Structure 1
């Protein structure tokens, strides 16, 4: 039974299925207006998150050049990254990931996603600022 299932699995998982390939062709060959609009929106979100993070005492953030994540340095807060990430989630409800989850050099950093609306980003970082100010 294993060999028969393995043969099926290899064909199912070793390459992209045909419907997905056809969808990709359509997406890449069709109008690209939405791509430019989304790129501009993510650029605005990136600038917003960096500006707001740099306005929080003890936090500094360089401008990310890829993906939609910021990786601010939180060493100035005096907090350990994973502990702070947990406290931010449990307290003001701000989801972050402690830098050590990305390797041993990640202590002193948090990862935040800016794949959300600008209003939600403003709200989350206002909560983070208030939380850190209360300590």
Structure 2
């Protein structure tokens, strides 16, 4: 029986380092550009961004509510405000940084980024988002309101 990862690595074309880093570099440029925009255009000032439709209709906070304010605070180095605005957003920013770093290291070595996320991982992430959403909408979860 052959190892799937070894087989995958053998099938990859041998390319130069700039070509292997092009996609991770493009993703980083897109994310950095987005953070620069949100850092420049303050979401705390009305009229720059639309209001969350779920919040507008129901008054409930979705998992993304406060995400733009959180990103704005994060860009400006106010990490406590970023956590207050959307704690799961900050977890996502840090998770992206770790995942992107692993991706770049593997790409530089000529190896694919094999994300072996199984159903347990996806269900756990979904459950965490659900709990976060429910708790932030309960009376005792006011500390999670954006």
Same fold (TM over 0.5): no
Greater Rg over alpha carbons, structure: 1
Taking structure 1 as the reference length, the TM-score comes to 0.30
- Larger RCO, structure (CA 8 Å, separation 6 or more): 2
* Structure with the largest fraction of strand: 1
Taking structure 2 as the reference length, the TM-score comes to 0.28
* Structure with the largest fraction of helix: 2
